[in-house]
Amino acid sequence: MALYAEKGIDGVPVRTLTSHAGVNVAAIHYHFGGTEALAEALFDELSARVNKRRTLALKEITAAAGKGGTRPEVTAIVRAFVAPYVGEGAATEGQLLAQLILKHRLSPSPMTERVIKKHFDPMAKQFVAALHDAAPEIPLSLMYLRYMLMVSTVVLFLTDRGRPNRLHRLSGTKAGTTDTQYIANALVDFVVGGIRVSASS
């Protein structure tokens, strides 16, 4: 998993993969049917595990709001969504998830289509429903669009693999921080503002 996170989904040669795992090429084909099937097994497990955490966090937010007779907070919902990308374990898991989504956007394959449909589409609908409950003044159709804009913002920011990345190159030390909590807060603030703002006429 660390190799994929470091080098990208398509950037790990099979021999590097087998050497890192301590197995031979034949073992990859025997157990998984090839490197793409291995990648699918990896992303299938990772997506199921991470998105389960996200949906459980979302259910806790909506349940607490229901008990208190209030609407869920947009900020809490957005934090639950971005947590896998900027929270604990994000250096590996968050990077992998972001790369999977970016790959599906740029060069979709049957593998990425299966993983996205199985693990991300159901979760997306739950988050959109919760966001619409939190901000009912935003039409549902627009909330779906804003959800996709949230995903795009997170994924594009996290998959900048330049050394140094563009933020650091543009701003120097002014904004090129490695403080993950600072980045997480800035990301949440930006997304929440975009979700809450009234629709233009």
Q: Name the DSSP class of 9.
A: T
- State pLDDT tens for residues 58-114: 999 999 999 999 999 999 999 999 998 887 666 677 777 888 888 778 888 888 899
- State pLDDT tens for residues 130-165: 999 999 999 999 999 999 999 999 888 887 766 667
pTM for this prediction: 0.79
Domains, the chain: 35-196 (1.10.357.10)
Instruction: Please give the Cα distance from 201 to 189 (Å, whole number).
Output: 24
87 in Cβ contact with 18 (< 8 Å): no
Q: Does the bond joining 136 to the residue before it have cis omega, within 30 degrees of 0? A: no
- The residue ranking higher by pLDDT, 45 or 5, is 45
